[in-house]
Amino acid sequence: MSKLPVVIIENDQSLRLLQAFLDAQPNPERDAALADYLAHDLPDFAGWLKQARERARGAYPAEVRMVETQEELLAALPGADAFVTEGLEIGPRELAVADRLKIVQKHGIWLRNIDVPACAARGVKLMPLRRRGNMTAAEHIFSLMLGLARKLPKINKLITTERLTAAGYQPKFFDRRYSPNANWARIDGLGSLHGGTLGIVGLGEIGREVALRASAFGMHTLYFQRTRLPEADERELKVEYCAFDALLAESDWVCILVPGVPATRGLFNRERLAQMKPGARLVNVSRADVVDRDALVAGLTSGHLGGLGLDAFYDEPGRADDPLLDFDNVIITPRVASQPRQNGLADTEEMMVNLARALG
């Protein structure tokens, strides 16, 4: 039996940081790759890691077992002290073979894959984590929406008569004896989020963060996914379940938050985009290929789509001649929605400390 604590970690991309930080086995190649991955936000990776491990004494160093399937998890649980999960399930079957398990660390706050009463009955501590990257992703979604509503890509720095005229506007002061002088640039088509309808396709961890913020903006939020939430969750998030077709027809904004899997590729095709309310805007921080590229260009060209906010692009790096770059009602960012790196680092350190406290 290992003298080190045994930590099982689901082999999810985001959780590989935790593996690297807890693993007793040195791996210079992995450390160099992580230092490069973090360098633009964390120049002193080695120093940060040393301090984080000091705060996580009891969990580091550990014997780390990475698993991808329920079968692998069942095989790894005997003798394990801790389990860190993204989507793998922990319930009576798993707990029956988990003879030493002290803590289940959930990488997120939605506990749908964890039998909470069964863990409580066994005295297994359950620790959820509200992921900082999810909160930042929700903020980024609203930055895209606000940018489109306020036409920021088009009107940025248009503060002189010459620039406004060159951009196609006809600026002129109003008669201030009878009216205010707001929008003397005479920019048309400015919008507001307040009072609008937001349709969220996929109300997972990020979708919930979006819904909370939509309520603060005074938006009416619809959602669609395969499984409806419990009524208590809907009340808390102030969301309304809606059929997919109805959501597309009624929403002023459609936010795509589905996983990038074969079943979702091309989910938004010509027919689905045509179902959207004329002038509605589409925001996608999921995989780009969830939306059919040709259909997207056609919808923007015809004006049926009122705008696009996109974080993950079809080609990485993109092409300078990509037609999506020519639309002034399109905002595209280079996969930065969940950044900065400190989000993932802070999440990882919090999980390390949770494990150390439970195992100490």
The mean pLDDT value for 325-336 works out to 95
Q: What is the pLDDT of residue 325?
A: 95
Q: What is the mean pLDDT of residues 330-345?
A: 94
Intrachain domains 6-129+341-359 and 134-150+191-328 with the same fold:
yes
Q: Lowest-confidence range among 21-30, 147-156, 179-188, 212-221? A: 21-30
φ and ψ at 153, to 5 degrees? -60, -30
Whether the pLDDT of residue 234 is over 70: the answer is yes
pLDDT digits over 241-267, tens only? 999 999 999 999 999 999 888 889 999
Summarize pLDDT for 22-38 with one digit per residue, the tens: 999 889 999 899 999 99
Q: What's the pLDDT score for residue 2? A: 53
Is pLDDT above 70 for 215?
yes
Q: What CATH code would you report for 134-150+191-328?
A: 3.40.50.720
pLDDT of residue 303 exceeding 80, the answer is: yes
Q: What is the pLDDT of residue 66?
A: 97
**In the chain, domain spans:** 6-129+341-359, 134-150+191-328
What torsion, rounded to 10 degrees, do the Cα atoms 8, 13, 14, 19 define? 40
Give the pTM.
0.93
Q: Mean pLDDT of all residues in the chain? A: 95
The CATH number fitting domain 6-129+341-359, selected from 3.40.50.720, 1.10.287.110, 3.20.20.10, 1.10.10.200: 3.40.50.720
Pairing of strands 281-284, 307-310: parallel
Q: What is the DSSP string of 44-101?
A: -HHHHHHHHHHHTBTTBSBEEEEE-SHHHHHHH-TT-SEEEESS--BSHHHHTT-SS-
Q: Residue 288: phi, psi to the nearest 5?
A: -60, -40
Spatial strand order of the sheet with 125-127 comes to: 63-67, 6-10, 82-85, 103-106, 125-127
Q: 306 is written with which tokens? A: 């009122």
188 Cβ contact list (under 8 Å, min separation 6): none
| CA dist., res. 210 & res. 61, Å (int) | 37
What pLDDT band is residue 61 in, cutting at 50, 70 and 90? very high
What integer is the mean pLDDT of 318-338? Answer: 95
pLDDT score for 37: 92
pLDDT digits (tens, 9 = 90+) for 112-143: 999 999 999 999 999 999 999 999 999 999 99
Please give the average per-residue pLDDT across 277-288, as a whole number. Answer: 96
Question: Does residue 101 carry a pLDDT above 60?
Answer: yes
pLDDT at 1: 45
Using a 10 angstrom Cβ sphere, with 0-12 exposed, 13-18 middle and 19 or more buried, the burial of residue 144 is: buried
Distance separating alpha carbons of residues 108 and 106, to the nearest angstrom = 5
Res 3: pLDDT: 87
pLDDT of 312 reads 85
Kindly tell me if the per-residue pLDDT of 13 is higher than 90: no
Is the pLDDT confidence value at 294 over 60?
A: yes
